Amino acid sequence: MRLGFAAKVTGRPGLKEADGRRWQNNPHLSVSLTYLEAIFDYLRDEHITMYRISSRIAPYITHPQLPQFHHQIEECAEQLARLGERARAQNLRLSMHPDPFVVLNSPHEAVYAAALRDLDYHARFLDALGAGPEAVVVLHGGGVFGDKAAAMARFVDRYLRLPEHARRRIVLENDEKSYSVPDIVAIHQQTGVPLVLDNLHHAVNNPDHLTIAQAADLCLPTWPQGVTPKVHFSSPRREDRVVRRRDKSSGKTLLAEVAPLASQHADWVDVDEFVAFLGETGRWRYDVMLEAKQKDSALLRLRGELAARGIVTE
DNA sequence: CGATGTCAAGGAATC
DNA sequence: GATTCCTTGACATCG
């Protein structure tokens, strides 16, 4: 079992995940890839073997008004191939997760078109690394648009019509609001798309009251032979947190303490909850993407706590 | 330099 | 129909 984390590194100062400058300053994938190389060094040093690459790694690559950014993958082909080689050399499983406004089943043609551009980009990025089939693009079901059956049918139809290189990469994750485990199972049955089980989303969006074991029994066998399935794991935030929010009378941004929503990720992973999850899903083999706010620091802490209990991860 | 405003992008809930 | 929230932190700019 591999443990992974997403995008941002907290455990070593100075590591960035993407060239985040505004378009006026000509950010570029080639800069992001120098950052990614430094992250790979860190992952190697810490023996971390799974990592989600930020979708912002290629700035503005699908922006319709900024064509000068559209060929960054081609422009960085050699650099990408070298990094892919490195990832394989250090046994690193990679993935990506498009932002929530990539909505494949939107009834708005322009949104659909943008989703197609984005999925093409994510797939081509992983292809340019030469990544194997374990490197997936994790997608959500999208919107409901007042008619869930129609929205799901639209997802199925559009998924089946995706270009092959994109369809090959995509896996579908249950979300915290619209598409529960039984929903994505129904989509799987019509498409064959592999399913990612997210424990926290399942906890807050579980209309059929399935146990986590039942949910795992539905999701994990959807992966093809030879590709280790993946799950997302996080603990729910329980403490209030400080956020910046706009005050509507003054129009100013202020700090405020707000209570957590049930669906929000905690800073760290609760080892007891994690061990319980392992116990309930013990008949399956899978890798775990941790979605804790403290990212790699949470991973390293959890790994230590697991080792103290005699549970060793890859 | 610290504080605050801004950023490409969607959807849903609320009024 | 317009506004706000979800949520993301880093960048950019202002005082």
CATH classification of the domain holding A129: 3.20.20.150
Q: For chain C, which bases have at least one atom within 7 A of a protein Cβ?
A: 3-12
pLDDT at A255 over 80: no
Closest protein residue to B8 using CA and C1' atoms?
A: A63
> Does residue A226 lie within any of the structural domains?
yes
> Does residue A247 lie within any of the structural domains?
no
Question: How far: A78 CA to B12 C1' (Å)?
Answer: 43
Sign of CA dihedral A130, A26, A54, A187: negative
> Does residue A53 lie within any of the structural domains?
yes
Question: How far: A22 CA to B7 C1' (Å)?
Answer: 8
> Does residue A227 lie within any of the structural domains?
yes
> Does residue A169 lie within any of the structural domains?
yes
Look at the block and give the residue holding tokens 């049930």: A262
pLDDT at A244 over 90: no
Quickly state the pLDDT bin for A248 (edges 50, 70, 90). low
Range(s) of the domain holding residue A182 = 3-235+263-308
Give the per-residue pLDDT at A50.
97
Instruction: Give chain A's domain count.
Output: 1
Q: From CA A166, how far away is CA A169, in angstroms rounded?
A: 5
Give φ, ψ of A232 to 5 degrees.
Answer: -105, 135
Query: 3-state secondary structure string, A181-230?
Result: HHHHHHHHHHHCCCEEEEHHHHHHCCCCCCCHHHHHHHHHHHCCCCCCCE
pTM of the model: 0.94
> Does residue A252 lie within any of the structural domains?
no
The region of weakest confidence among A54-58, A208-212, A223-227, A260-264 is A260-264
Residue A225, C-beta contacts closer than 8 angstroms, at least 6 positions apart: none
> Does residue A257 lie within any of the structural domains?
no
Beta-bridged to residue A205, according to DSSP, are none
